[in-house]
């Protein structure tokens, strides 16, 4: 039965301190890679929103059924969401914006660039379009709302949709989120560096202390052979040669006689 090994906070801090340079290096590399992709590879995208209202006007004789009709209109919004992103509406929109700058490229991509949202129990819902050009995003949102309003009369045989506010051009890009991307890069790089540090420590089989031999393997320690740096060895050899050379010159009698 294998022995269960535990690791303390002191050991964790020691491992992190030992591999601190590698952890910081990994964090910097990942952060720089994310920054490069964010600032130089990813294209900015712009968003624009059109708001529509679902409200059927009733005659004075049917004012008592206004509440029921309002609830029915709210429930119809879910159906309208599907109609807005259907080929019936998007084909006409695609024809109009196919030559615009930042055009998504196809009906499928156009569908992915459009989102429809609404608040609970609200008769107002929003059509939001995203594109690489701010003006194109606004045109897509407005055209989608206008085509839908026209088509829904024929499809549902009712006229209860009106445009509350048209999409305005917004020059501030909604993506990429530079600050969020950089923060994510720092966190991912830091976690990756810590993970690599622990993996290297776990897979390292180098004997670094006598405690591992005596406590873990149950062996007897016979002694320790210290390691001397090569530069230190050369330094000592040089000092010995210099010392012996100087003392030998002072003890040579022949040299002394010649000088006299």
Q: What is the pLDDT of residues 38-65, one digit of tens each?
A: 999 998 999 999 999 987 665 555 545 5
- Residue 145 pLDDT: 94
* Integer Cα distance of 110 and 88 in angstroms: 13
32/57 same-domain check:
no
127/66 same-domain check:
yes
Secondary structure (DSSP) of 27-72: HHHHHHHHHHIIIIISPPBEEEEEEEEE-----GGGGGGHHHHHHH
* Integer Cα distance of 204 and 88 in angstroms: 64
52/26 same-domain check:
no
Q: Which of the 8 DSSP states describes residue 175?
A: B
- Residue 197 pLDDT: 92
108/150 same-domain check:
yes
Residue span of the structural domain in which 195 resides: 9-41+177-203
140/58 same-domain check:
yes
* Whether 6 contacts 93, CB under 8 Å: no
- Is the model's pLDDT at 218 over the cut of 90? no
37/57 same-domain check:
no
- Is the model's pLDDT at 112 over the cut of 50? yes
* Whether 141 contacts 149, CB under 8 Å: no
Domain-terminating residue out of 104, 138, 165 = 165
32/139 same-domain check:
no
Helix axes 134-156, 87-97, angle to 10 degrees: 140
- Is the model's pLDDT at 257 over the cut of 50? no
Q: Lowest-confidence range among 21-35, 69-83, 206-220, 227-241? A: 206-220
0.75 cut: is pTM over it? Answer: no
* Integer Cα distance of 145 and 132 in angstroms: 20
- Residue 184 pLDDT: 96
Using pLDDT thresholds of 50, 70 and 90, give the confidence band for residue 253. very low
Q: What is the pLDDT of residues 3-29, one digit of tens each?
A: 445 567 888 888 899 899 999 999 999
Domain count along the chain: 3
- Residue 242 pLDDT: 77
- Residue 20 pLDDT: 93
218/115 same-domain check:
no
- Residue 192 pLDDT: 96
At residue 136, φ and ψ (nearest 5 deg) are -65, -40
Residue with the larger pLDDT of the pair 24 and 223: 24
50/75 same-domain check:
yes
* Whether 25 contacts 197, CB under 8 Å: no
At residue 237, φ and ψ (nearest 5 deg) are -60, -40
Radius of gyration of the chain (CA): 39
Biggest CA-to-CA distance, the chain: 143
| Edge-to-edge strand list for the sheet holding 161-165 | 114-118, 124-131, 46-54, 161-165
Q: 25 lies in a domain? A: yes
Task: State whether the Cα torsion 191-197-200-204 is positive or negative.
Answer: negative
Using pLDDT thresholds of 50, 70 and 90, give the confidence band for residue 72. confident
Residue with the larger pLDDT of the pair 181 and 58: 181
The mean pLDDT value for 223-243 works out to 76
Contacts of 158 (CB under 8 A, 6+ apart): 56, 152
Q: What is the pLDDT of residues 126-154, one digit of tens each?
A: 999 999 999 999 999 999 999 999 998 88
23/51 same-domain check:
no
């Amino acid at each position: 039965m294998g022995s269960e090994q535990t690791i303390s906070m002191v050991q964790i801090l020691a491992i992190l301190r030992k591999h601190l340079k590698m952890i910081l290096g990994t964090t910097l590399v990942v952060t720089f890679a994310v920054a490069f992709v964010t600032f130089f590879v990813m294209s900015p995208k712009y968003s624009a929103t059109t708001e529509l209202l679902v409200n059927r006007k009733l005659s004075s004789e049917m004012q008592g059924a206004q509440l029921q009709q309002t609830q029915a209109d709210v429930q119809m919004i879910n159906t309208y969401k599907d109609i807005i992103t259907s080929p019936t509406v998007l084909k006409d929109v695609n024809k109009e914006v196919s030559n615009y700058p930042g055009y998504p490229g196809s009906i499928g991509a156009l569908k992915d660039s459009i989102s429809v949202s609404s608040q609970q129990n609200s008769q107002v819902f929003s059509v939001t379009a995203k594109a690489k050009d701010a003006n194109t995003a606004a045109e897509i949102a407005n055209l989608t709302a206008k085509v839908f309003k026209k088509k829904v009369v024929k499809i549902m045989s009712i006229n209860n949709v009106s445009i509350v506010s048209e999409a305005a051009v917004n020059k501030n890009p909604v993506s990429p989120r530079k600050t969020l991307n950089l923060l994510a890069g720092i966190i991912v790089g830091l976690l990756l560096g810590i993970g690599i540090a622990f993996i290297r420590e776990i897979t390292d089989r180098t004997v670094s202390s006598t405690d591992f031999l005596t406590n873990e393997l149950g062996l007897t320690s016979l002694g320790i052979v210290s390691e001397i740096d090569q530069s230190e060895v050369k330094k000592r050899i040089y000092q010995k040669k210099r010392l012996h050379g100087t003392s030998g010159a002072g003890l040579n009698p022949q040299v002394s006689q010649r000088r006299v």
